[in-house]
Amino acid sequence: MTTAETVLAALASRIAAALPPGAVFQRNGTLPVRIPATGAAILRDGEPGEAERLFSPPVWYFEHEAELDLVVEGGPEAARLEALDVLRQSVAEALAADRSLGGLVDWCEPVAARSVDLAVDGGDGLRGLEVRILLAYAAADSLG
């Protein structure tokens, strides 16, 4: 496995384990048709960015940005906001507990959260957050 895939798999595992019971997790998936009351999280691999090459020894350093979508639906607005905050807090605490993902990266940090509202025909709509996650790591080649 490449360094990039190892890092992304570890990030996915960390996030999936941190979610509240019943929440749906997918990596590079699509929005599920039915979202449980505790919400859903979709991790997208994102962009590894342009690698910085160090020559001695040869190492490529990446500042990879993965993307995490957190989504809740239905119910009163206060309940949706609370469920979304529980998802956000679960992810934040899981990443803060070990910023190196077990030594796989130099640094792992959620960078920003952008609020997103999605309209649904005949429904209350979806409330969500798009979270960028910075993963800083070194690899043995330019493909990560």
- Map out the domains of the chain as residue ranges: 3-139
The terminus-to-terminus CA distance of the chain in angstroms comes to: 10
Q: Which among 65, 38, 35, 63 is positioned nearest to 50, based on CA atoms?
A: 63
Contacts of 136 (CB under 8 A, 6+ apart): 61, 62, 63, 64, 105, 106, 107, 108
Encoded tokens for 71: 């989504």
Q: Which among 44, 45, 39 is positioned nearest to 86, based on CA atoms?
A: 39
- What is the mean pLDDT, run by run of 10 residues, along the chain of 144 residues? 96 97 95 88 94 91 96 86 94 97 97 82 79 96 82
- Residue 103 pLDDT: 97
- Residue 117 pLDDT: 81
Query: Is residue 109 classed as helix, strand or coil in its secondary structure?
Result: strand
The answer to whether residues 108 and 100 touch, using CB atoms and an 8 Å cutoff, is yes
Estimate to the nearest angstrom the gap between the alpha carbon of 43 and the chain centroid.
4
The answer to whether residues 133 and 66 touch, using CB atoms and an 8 Å cutoff, is yes
- Its CATH class, for the domain covering 3-139, is alpha beta
The reported pTM is 0.92
- Residue 37 pLDDT: 87
Helix axes 3-18 and 77-96, enclosed angle (nearest 10): 130
Helix ranges, the chain (H): 3-18, 77-96
